[in-house]
Each structure stands twice: as C-alpha cells, then as structure tokens.
Structure 1
C-alpha cells in the first residue's frame, strides 16, 4: 500500500491511499480510509505519486550498435527518469525490425536486460509489405517509416506511393503507421549542411520539408482511412494542417519532444553538435507555437526521441554539423525538462503527466498503463516537484555521456520508480517484454 498527501489521480492530485496486489492497482481511496498491506510506502510531504511515464520513441540500438546504447543502459536511464514503459524503434539496431525473425532477435537481446517494461515497433521499408501483418500478429505496436533517408542504409525510406500502399495494407487490420515526415525533394533544394554554424545546419532542414511531408501523410491517411502518427513534430507551421485534418476526421495523431519545447535555435552555440537532431530545433517563436499546439490538443503527446550515439559520431572535435550524428540523448531527463518549462507557463503537473504518460499509452494501445486507476499496472514515479538538480552527463545512466542539457538547472526530481508495485532495482532486471494487445 502507498500512502501520500499527493497522489495524481485522473481527477488531479489528492491525498490518497493506493492498494496494490500482484503488481496491479486494486484500490485508490482517500487518505485515512485505512487500507492495509503487507508493505507500506509513505510518501514525504513534498512528493507526488505519478503514474509511470510511457515513452513510445526510444532508439535502444541493440543488437548491432550496442556501443551506442543498449537495453540495460536504456532501461536503467528510463527508470531513473520515471519512465516505466518504453517502446523501442526498429532502427538503428542490426538487423532492423522489419520481419518476425528480426523481432525475435531483438526480443532475445532484451529478455534478460529490461529494467522497465519494453515493447517494440516494427519497420515499414521498401519491399516488406508482406511482413507487416505477420509482425502485427507477433505483437509489434505499429510500424515506423521514413520519407527521407533514415541515416542508416539498412533502413531505407519509402516513396509517397509506397507509404500509401502500406497504409492501405495496415487499414485491413487497423495497424498504425508512424512517420518521420520530411520531404527529400525540399531538402534537396536547401543548402547542404556543412560547418560549425548552427544557422547553416538549420537552413539545411527547412520547415517546408516537414510541412510538405506531413501534407502527404494526411492526404494518404484520408484516402485510405488508416491510422497515421507524425513523429517528433518540429515545425509549428504544420499545426494548422494537422488541426484541419483532425477536424475532418483523418485518423491522425502527433507527438513532439522535450528538445523542441525547451530549446531554441537562438540559444545554440556554433559547433555545439550535441544539439543536432533531424528535424532540427527551430527558433523561439516556433517553440512558443508548439506549446500552444499542445495546449489546444493539436499535438497529442511528448516523447523523448532518445537517439544516442558514441561520442566520436557527434563530431565534437570539429563541431561540424554536416558530419555529426543527428540525435539528442534525453531519456532520463524528459520529465524534469518539461516540468521545468511547464511550471513557468502555469501548466499544471497533471497536464504534463497526461502528455507524457496517459497519451503515449493511448497511442500504443497500452490499456494497463498511464494512470493510477484500479485495474492498471502498479507502475509509479515518486516525484519531488520543487526539488532541483544540475545535469551532469557523467551521472546519467545513458551509455554515452553527452547531452545538450549539460549544466542545465532543472526542477523536479524522480526519487523513486516502481514497476509492478516494487522498486526498480538497478541490479535486477524485472521488466516485461510487451506485445500489442496483451497490456
């Protein structure tokens, strides 16, 4: 039983007692009701019990590029940040998760190393349309595709006609297509990314590339009736397109990421390749409009897009944005990053948790996750919302100690993470491997 003055229920924070049995929430009652249990956890007065976060956009990279990250390091980092469920992307592992054999390989790699619950996305690449339904039946939560070069040759991008054909195939069994939406023709007309000036890199990935590709996704989803999801929205210019599509009944959802909501191009020093990601971090006005898109419901959820690499691939010596790997490492920091920014805007903690727990769980169909509700999994983060810390890359659980947030002062500390009602032990991996439809 957990007892505290602030338990984040669907109705907001309230003094409550939470009963747990066999890893499942059995009761949520007012504080003082007198629940009894074999084990009692009492929260401190400055702590809030949150539902464990759900991060549906994590690149674990194992097997094949385990030096970049791995299931042990990624899931420990997740737990340290209050994330109790993550869904692994089908790249940059080798092999990529584009058929059932590759999924089995990845599950075997993860089985003994998961410190939180882990699910898997499949991949949609040229030539694997016949693999989509078998992967769906094997339990992947949906299918990722790129409309532009993915960054790794073994996961090629789809042309728009191939994307639409895959959407039509997924409509047959109500599968979900999640899309990296940038248009290669627009990028081809932009100046090449080279050198240490961030403004030059930003010019190489214009917002128009996102807007054009998102329009293509919307049109294909409208024609097929299939479900589509826009990954890591960076361009606020696309928000009216998305809002109109949703109003028209297009089955569309959208995510954005902490780096687009907490950083701005004007603040990025030249040569600071830790900030490189694709699509890029844009200007301050763009950031403000993304926040508005969250507040009005155009954007559905916030996830990390944790995309790490080894230090050498970030071209730290040269500071050349054209050479550096594009990816931000922030899996452990997401809640503190968003809460630090949200509280200055008057956004309550319960809204932050809605974006980072309930909404991603809903996206993936994880009905047992994302809320402190009887019948749900007893996954929790104990959060000290007024506590502060300074980001030290060497102290993070990520395998490679680099993050654009080094030295940042953040508010909100995850003091304890519980999975299935028990503390996450960094020496004992107890996470489950999830399949679509089972949780």
Structure 2
C-alpha cells in the first residue's frame, strides 16, 4: 500500500490509548495505523511531540457578518488552527442576521465561503416566533439549535419563555434534533454592581441550577435531546448526574476559563474576565474538575465570545460578557489537567472525540482508520507565556495575557494538509457529514 503522507511518532493518541507508531494518510483520510509505514512524504515528530487528533470546538461565536469588527471567519479559524482546533461550530447569535431561518443561514454560509482555515459548521437558533423555521434549518444541515432562558445580551436574539421552550423541544424531538441551552434563570439574575463581587452576586449558582432543572424536566417530558452550555456551577452536577441515571437525554459542557481561573484572583476592574455565567470560587473549580473526571461533564468547549476592546472597557456592570480563548483552550486545559493527574487521552476525549460525537461528526476528533486526517502536533512539556499581541483572533483582549501555560501547538493539519494561513483549506460542514 502507498500513502500520500505518513506521520511517525513515539506518541500517538488514538481511541484505544496512546501508542508509538505510524499513521498513513491517503486522499485526506487516515488509511492505516501500524508500527511502521512508508509514504511519498514522511513527517517524523520530534521526541517531545505527540500526535493528537485535531480538536473540535462546538461553541464559537464568529460574529460574522454584521459584527465582523468583533471577529470574523478568517481570524477565528486562524486562531482555531493555531490552537490545534480543526473544526468549529459557529453560534447563531451576535452575527447579523442571527441564524434563525434558512435565509439567514445562507447569508452566513456565503460570508464564510472561501475564507475559513478550518472546517466550520453552524448552529441554528430558537427565538420567539420561529418554531415553523426549525425543521427547514434542520433539513439545511445545522447541527442543532441554541436558545437562551434569559436575555442573550443582544436584542435581535430574544430569550424563550417556558412555554416556547417546551414547544421547541416537542418540535425538535420529533426529528431528534439537539437543543443547546444557555441555562440561567431570568428571575434569579439581577442587575450587576460595578465590581467583581457585585457581578458574581448578580448571577448566583442557583440561577444555573434552577434553569438546568427546567431543561432536565422538559427533556424528560418530551424525550428530546438537550445540552447545557458553559456550566460554571459545580453545585448543579448532582442534579445532572441523577437525570443521566434516569435516562434523560442530557449532556453538559464546561469551558477552559472555568477550569483555569478563580473568582479570588479577579480584580474589580479586570473586565477581561467577565463572562456569563461567571467564573466562581476555587472550591467550585475543583468541583468542575471532579465532574469531568467522573463523566458527569461530557466535554469542554471554548465559548469563544470576543468583542472590541472598547466593549470590554468600563466596569463589570457595563462591559461585554465574553472571553476570547479559541487559540488557548488546549494548553489552558492541559496545564490544569496534568496537575490533577489526567492524561492527554482524557483531554482528547473532552476536547476532540466527545464534541465530535455530540454533533455527529464521525470522521472528526480521533486518529482512526477512515477518519479525516486532522492532526495537532503538540509538545506537552514545552511552555510559554501568553502574549495577547501574538494571538490570531481579531482583537487583543484575553484574560490569559501574561499567564504561563504548558503545551505548545507546533503544527495543525486538516485532511492531510498543513494549515499555514496562506490558503483557506477549510470546508463548510452540514449535519451528517461523516
């Protein structure tokens, strides 16, 4: 057998664990994994490098079109590739128009076409009044549907009320579509004060727990699939675990910033840390890590939600709530994971194979025969200090600036081609691409 490309490595992370060997690529797919292979081109990894699958980030706000000064498809996918991410799924809000009908989806696809350096899929949105549009969006290939149980932060993407949420899950359950939910209770969240303590108090843990209980009970009654986005409250994990044991079709994610930062370290003017729900105390962070370890939390996604520096200025009552971290998720999570005894195989499960499984991308997120030849060449023992000026996303705002992290992404490959930033290699994905 001949191969277009062969990777040889002392360490390759596969679904069966970490091995030493060679990965043969033909026509953009993994064609063989053997102790030794030869090919037209051979890449031999350095002794300190590990071959990982390309990561899959299912929670990215690209904001394009309409708010491209916040981010854009070119800059977002360059940042993703620099972080070892080869597939992103774009959220339906913060762009104009929001992705709440097929016409808006086509506007977004037209904007992205020919400009993406990674593969890109799209979520649809649920807002009041668009129930008749959901089946059309599903048939057009979105990976699922996002809704908010409180104000989204932008007026063109309104929250759904309980009756609307229930009707949406009834409809989506009829064709087994996935609903992803920003789960904070509108009646519990209050106006923020300017300092971090006031902001944290305005969005207490109970706001998440109450909303998650609503999601669980609606999913239980309708039989629909539901996913809780960006969990920050570890106190909600027992409720989620119990629902899973009962057979409710519920999954949950958390984010690198909740696994890295703590409320105790955030200053009263450090609005680069503002996100919703908020970063909580150190003890809560450890609870999230336990939830990952025992499987209650299914995956880790960035919730990359960038904006201009001007919108991040001010105080915690007025600044935009969102963290830009698409390029830094892998080293951020690995830095914390290794301190707690986790292996790279765990990180790959949380950030590659589980997100791919969630959205039905069977060829993504794993180094396996038949899968896409999407790879991240990662040096786990190398280290760097984050410099916001060197990040590839559009605006140099991030809470990670100045933070030392372990693990350096040295190369990222998409379907057997190295992503260099010169030519956009990415494709626009639809649900069922596998």
Q: Does TM, scored on the shorter chain, surpass 0.5? A: yes
Does 2:9 correspond to 1:4? yes
Which residue number corresponds to residue 356 of structure 2? Answer: 361
Give the distance between the partners of 2:210 and 2:386, measured in 1 at CA. Answer: 36
1:383-432 CA-to-partner distances (Å, cap 9, x unmatched) read: 00000001000100010001001100000000000000110020200101
Work out whether 1:392 is the aligned partner of 2:387.
Answer: yes
Q: Name the counterpart of 1:405.
A: 400
Instruction: Give me the TM-score of the superposition, normalised by structure 1.
Output: 0.97
Residue 239, structure 1, aligned to residue 234, structure 2: no
In the superposition, the TM-score normalised over structure 2's length comes to 0.98
- 1:20 match: 25
- Matches of 2:393 and 2:266, distance apart in 1: 22
CA distance in 1, matches of 2:166, 2:231: 20
Ranges in structure 1 where 5+ consecutive residues have no aligned partner: none
- Within 5 A, what are the aligned runs for 1:373-392? 373-392=368-387
**Cα separation, 2, equivalents of 1:29 and 1:40:** 14
Show CA shifts across 1:99-145 (max 9, x none): 00000000001011100000000001100011111100000000000
2:52 aligns to what? Answer: 50
Q: Does the Cα contact within 8 Å between 1:194 and 1:323 map onto a contact in 2? A: no
Measure the CA separation in 1 of the matches of 2:388 and 2:350.
25
- String of CA shifts for 1:205-260, please: whole Å, max 9, x gaps: 11111100000000000000000000000111110100000000000000000000
Offset, 1:36? 2.1
SS at match of 1:186: coil
Equivalent runs, 1:173-188 vs 2, <5 Å: 173-187=175-189
Residue from 79, 92, 97 that aligns with 1:90 = 92
Q: Does 1:29 align with 2:71?
A: no
The secondary structure found in structure 1 opposite 2:350 is helix
What secondary structure does 1:332 align onto? coil
Matches within 5 A, 1:17-416: 17-30=22-35, 33=36, 35-187=37-189, 190=190, 192-195=191-194, 197-315=195-313, 318=314, 320-416=315-411
**4+ residue runs over 6 A deviation:** none
CA distance in 2 between counterparts of 1:407 and 1:43 reads 29
Name the SS of the counterpart of 1:165 in structure 2: helix
Helix, strand or coil at the partner of 2:152: coil
Give the superposition deviation at 1:150.
0.3
Q: Helix, strand or coil for the counterpart of 2:21?
A: strand
Aligned residues: 429
What CA deviation, in whole Å up to 9, does each residue of 1:315-340 have, x standing for no partner?
A: 2xx3x101000000000000000000
* Structure 2 residue matching 1:335: 3-state secondary structure: helix
1:356 and 1:9 mapped to 2: Cα distance?
14
CA shift for structure 1 position 438 = 1.6
CA RMSD of aligned residues (A): 0.7
Aligned counterparts of 2:148 and 2:276: Cα–Cα separation in 1: 12
Separation in 1 of the partners of 2:42 and 2:323? 38
State the alpha-carbon separation in 2 of the partners of residues 147 and 61 from structure 1.
Answer: 21
Gapped runs of 5+ residues in structure 2?
Answer: 1-5
**Cα distance per residue 1:347-399 (max 9 Å; x no partner):** 11110111000000011111110111000000000000000001000100010
Distance 2:13 2:206 in 1: 40
SS of corresponding position for 2:399: coil
